[in-house]
Chain A
Amino acid sequence: MTTAVASSPVLRAHAEDQFVAELVALAKADDRPRPPGWRLSPHAVVTYLLGDVEAGITPKYIGPRRLIEVAVATLATDRALLLIGVPGTAKTWVSEHLAAAISGDSTLLVQGTAGTPEEAIRYGWNYARLLAEGPSPAALVPSPVMRAMQIGAIARIEELTRIPSDIQDTLITILSEKTMPIPELGQEVQAVKGFNIIATANDRDRGVNELSAALRRRFNTVVLPVPASVEEEVDIVSQRVNALGRALELPEVSAATEEIRRVVTIFRELRDGVTIDGRTKLKTPSGTLSTAEAISVVTNGMALAAHFGDGVLRASDVAAGIRGAVVRDSESDEVIWEEYLEAVVREREGWQDFYRAAREAE
């Protein structure tokens, strides 16, 4: 539970630590009413996520304002929030920042998997103590959800639809009654004001463990879309790549917006199955080709450029990464990529360097 070695810098800081200055500044200037248990007013939470250049708040989410407003209003009305979207649409990112801004703590996290046990949502036992002393509060190991109820904070559940249905349904009492009974002790934990749950679920996994109607009813749903335009996506990728580059202490690579634009263009075209100009229809590969993947392709390219290249992000640095993202495992992806190279990339003006690089990368 405690941080092991505080002195060595962590690879990735929690949102509330990384943006602590922004959160403090917002809290200071925030004169609007705050819901009980909230660190900031709903308005300030929205500002924290969408950014405010004048106040020195960086945007965390680039996308429709109304989505974030609905998400925050949902949490303010004491309803659980379900974020849905294809992989890589910043669901986890948004939930982390919402938790950081509202509760100042984004660590109360349950990762949903096919093997998530009930203990991960309710509570477990320290068996040595349980055997030695019998059931007692001291032998109880609370789950992140239980701790969130006790301190009045936001608990996050990742990939809710991957959790088996019977385990999912333990959430129903928690969400409707806001209590968690502990029959072994004859006690219960009642949620303190400020408690709420943000769950994320994957669009493509729908049907893996579809939420029961009873549980579904307790969530407000916000669908996070893929970025609306090339510009928006280029913005997101550049911003995240820069932040990641700083965090990983990569040598400075000149921000090659053109190369990023190219990556984003390729991803969008293959994802949408049509070229940007709308003239040529394309087949869609099996991978999701999300913004998150574009970010990792560019970051990877930056590392290549910094360590093995001339310090400038070039077509050859990203070509292999793009191919890896597009061609997953099936044979058809190979054909799709081939077709795309021949029909689109080869013909496009100013893309010859990329065409050569992509051919070399094979």
Chain B
Amino acid sequence: MTATSQIHILGVRHHGPGSARAVTRALAELRPDLILVEGPPEADDLVPLAASRDLVPPVALLVYTDEPQLRSAAADTTGGPQIRSAFWPFAVFSPEWQAIRYAVDNHIPLRFCDLPAAYRFGMAELELDGLRVDPIAELAAVAGYDDAERWWEDIIEHRRDGVPPFAAIAEAMAAVRATVQRTQTTPAADTVQPEPETGRPVVTDEVREAYMRSVLRAACKEGYRVIAVVCGAWHVPALTDPMPPAAQDAALLGRLPKKIPVTATWVPWTHGRLASWRGYGAGVASPGWYHHLFTTPDRVVERWLVQVAELLRDEDLPVSTAHVIEAVRLAEALATLRGRPLPGLAEMTEATRAVLCEGDETRLKLVFERLVVGEQLGRVPEETPSVPLMRDLAAAQRRLRLKPEAQVRELNLDLREQTDLARSRLLHRLRLLGVTWGTPIQSRRGRGTFRETWRLEWRPKYTVDLIAASAYGTTVASAATRKAREAADQASDLAEITSLVESCLMADLPEALGPVLTALRDRMAVDVDVVRLMDSLPALARTLRYGDVRGTDTTALTDVVTGMAVRITVGLPPALTNLDDTAAAAMCQRVEAVQAALNLVADIVPVRDRWLDMLAGLADRSDLHGLVVGRINRLLHDDRWLDSPTVERRMARILTVGVPPAHAVAWIEGFLSGSGLLLVHDEKLLSLVDGWLTAVPPDTFIKVLPLLRRAFATFTAPERRLIGERIRRGSGPRLDSDAEEKLDSERVAWVLPTLTAILDEATSPTPTPDGVTSSAEVA
């Protein structure tokens, strides 16, 4: 180390607003001519982009391998080689970001000094928890705090007095590291540790710190006079004198694996993702609060609670200034009671809950989502290098010969062909990622299950969407998988998850399907509303039936559909009571849809018999809405679950004086709606209806007439005509034995060849003469 270089180590907590403020102040005082920041050196070239006004945090540095890599022994069995990637997210309140801004604004060189990702991707990452004691938790425990975050907040983040705490942090960390090294059997510092199972070297603190020291030494040699190093507090003691001899570090680094070619870029990040992030700098539970702490010049408590009040007012909840005053007082009293220097987020939350939200948890949740986490979304400039996800998409586009074009065009796919199937999957995956390049439209060439028609239109904004989506994964498939899982976690209602299941199947994302189905099962178990289950079942049954066209594995789906069908079967009877006319009509459709769905998958999901049994139990209930009961009887009759005599007996009972005409007519409507053929063919039923109708007293008849009309209006014209004819003739001989219509033999002769062609395949097709349309009426 040359004596001319002055080195300042600024130990920070990643994403700590107090640290960020302290770093800004320290840099302004020190006026360094070089800044080193803990981060991947591959990103050095990206620092100047921070000068752009369009690079707005939260953003993340993304480093990824150019070629797919084997992950580890365990992952190989499932995933195979994959593009490996790592993120280093920064928010405005991250000390690292403040250092970058300072460097860019003052035209000072900035270098990242952590172990290059090029090495790390070839090594095994060690699990942080368990192997290393959390230094901050140690210190907090010594200070008598049970919560490490709070301790750090009180001591560092809430300090606004301006005394840089770096010396104290360095001292404290040295003490913690000394204890840890005494109590733990740390690996010998001069070797690169191999991972037990794979034999690959592990990224240890020793290696990383050795690399940081080597960067620091190199910088000194280059002749920089004042060097500021911004790194995690834990590393401070390793970078201060006395440092181990340079030769020892060099020997350690010499044993590193070969470098892997990597590329780095900026990607937009969100506060929400910061909150859930596990990895570098770990998750920040309350990015919105930290953002507030960092950006607010003074009166932190008051400004925060005023923001909360404004948020609640925007939601039309009455919150007065007096409320805010009382909330501030409560927060401060709580802080005093708890012996904290300033109200922290915990106190703010309590005050918000007790005063502003009046004890209401739903409102508090709103505050948490909108303010405590926040909804900030970062931006990156256009000249940012592209991301692996886009490369993967470009490769897929080339392979599948699908060029992104701005002009709208239609694409017909035949899913029986491999290329078309792959195209369909790609488009479905992109839709999951929010890139609606293709929109599925109703096919013009019939509705075969193996056909799909898409409307394609590429918009420039999809490029940005893809950069944003690259946080989910490096390939379209992996990103869509992760996105689908996230969506399943966040989905609020059953229908959303159901459509997600469909999407997953169509996009062929087997790894996402498991979690999505689990989410569906969980949601289904707590959903008390059988109506929602009934709405969801048909789509799932269709997927189950036709899923094999796409070659997807549907075992898990079978379980879910079975469970759902059983729940519906159990839950339907109570859901049918007390329905008004509108609800009854809707319920009829649902029952019908479920019936159709269960018929569709009868061989896979063995619930159909139970379902029909349950319906049979309902078919005789007089307390349910007539429409529903009528419909149920019809369904059972159509399915041969009830024989005609039973149905006739039942109908006879309904159409008696004892039953109010309104109920009877509803029953009839439910029973008959859709198709009148039944009446045409079943004389007994017809005569029952006829007899009842003629017996209805005149004033009641006027009342039931609109309902009857509605029931009969659903029949086709020929059906209506046939019924009319039958009634006119009274109970005569059966229709099919009766040549009731005078047929024009000349016209019939025209049709006969066509009919023969249709009915008898052996006959060679004859040319179709004009006037064939008349056959519809005859048939």
Contact = CB atoms under 8 A, between A and B. Distances in A.
Interface in B196-240: none
Interface string A205-234: 000000001001100111100000000000
Interface in A61-80: 66, 69-70, 72-74, 76-77, 79
Nearest to B354: A220
Contacts of A217: 320, 322-323
Given A216-B358, A217-B320, A281-B525, A70 B334 contact: yes
A69 B359 contact: no
Which of A70, A73, A77 has the largest count of B CB atoms less than 10 A from its CB? A73
A281 B337 CA distance: 42
A72 B354 CA distance: 12
A84 B354 CA distance: 11
A220 B334 CA distance: 13
B354 A221 contact: yes
B459 to A, nearest CB: 45
Interface string A13-50: 00000000000000000000000000000110010000
Contacts, number: 56
Given A73-B330, A221-B358, A66 B318 contact: no
Interface in A270-315: 281
A220 B318 contact: no
Contact of B329 (A42, A79, A216): A79
B409 interface: no
Interface in B733-768: none
Which of B323, B333, B350, B355 has the largest count of A CB atoms less than 10 A from its CB? B333
Contacts of B359: 82, 84, 221-223
A70 B330 contact: yes
B346 interface: yes
Contact of B333 (A46, A76, A222, A281): A76
B355 A220 contact: yes
A69 B322 CA distance: 22
Interface in B507-562: 525-526
Interface string B349-384: 010011100110100000000000000000000000
Contacts of A74: 330, 333, 354
Contacts of B354: 70, 74, 220-222
B326 A79 contact: yes
Which of A42, A70, A221 has the largest count of B CB atoms less than 10 A from its CB? A70
Contacts of B323: 217
B338 interface: yes
Given A76-B337, A222-B359, A223-B359, A70 B350 contact: yes
B337 A77 contact: no
A53 to B, nearest CB: 17
Q: Majority SS of interface residues in chain A?
A: helix
A213 B134 CA distance: 48
A73 B326 contact: no
Q: Majority SS of interface residues in chain B?
A: helix
A77 B350 contact: no
Nearest to B335: A73
B337 A43 contact: yes
A264 to B, nearest CB: 22
B532 to A, nearest CB: 15
B350 A66 contact: yes
Nearest to A224: B359
B337 A73 contact: yes
A74 B333 CA distance: 8
Nearest to B338: A69
Contact of B318 (A79, A82, A213, A221): A213
A320 B26 CA distance: 73
Given A213-B318, A220-B354, A281-B525, A66 B333 contact: no
Nearest to B328: A77
Contacts of A222: 354, 359
A77 B355 CA distance: 12
Interface string B311-336: 00000001010110010011001101
Contacts of B320: 217
Interface in B135-166: none
A331 to B, nearest CB: 14
A84 B329 CA distance: 21
A220 B330 contact: yes
Contacts of B526: 281
A66 B337 contact: no
B572 to A, nearest CB: 16
A79 B337 contact: no
Contacts of B337: 42-43, 46, 69, 72-73, 76
A73 B327 CA distance: 11
A340 B176 CA distance: 55
Contacts of A66: 346, 350
Given A69-B338, A213-B318, A217-B322, A77 B333 contact: yes
Contacts of B330: 70, 73-74, 77, 79, 220
Contacts of A46: 337
A73 B333 contact: yes
Interface in A135-176: none
A223 B354 CA distance: 8
B192 to A, nearest CB: 46
A46 B322 CA distance: 27
Nearest to B326: A79
Contacts of A43: 337
A73 B334 contact: yes
Contacts of B322: 217
A221 B329 CA distance: 14
B575 to A, nearest CB: 14
A223 B359 CA distance: 6
Contacts of A213: 318
A281 B571 CA distance: 12
Interface in A57-110: 66, 69-70, 72-74, 76-77, 79, 82, 84
Given A217-B323, A220-B326, A69 B358 contact: no
Nearest to A280: B525
A84 B525 CA distance: 30
A222 B351 CA distance: 10
6 contacts: A69-B337, A72-B337, A77-B329, A77-B330, A217-B323, A220-B355
Given A76-B333, A79-B330, A281-B526, 8 more contacts: A66-B346, A69-B337, A70-B330, A70-B350, A70-B354, A77-B329, A79-B326, A220-B355
The 10 closest A-B pairs by CB, nearest first: A221-B359, A73-B333, A220-B354, A73-B334, A223-B359, A77-B329, A77-B333, A221-B358, A70-B350, A42-B337
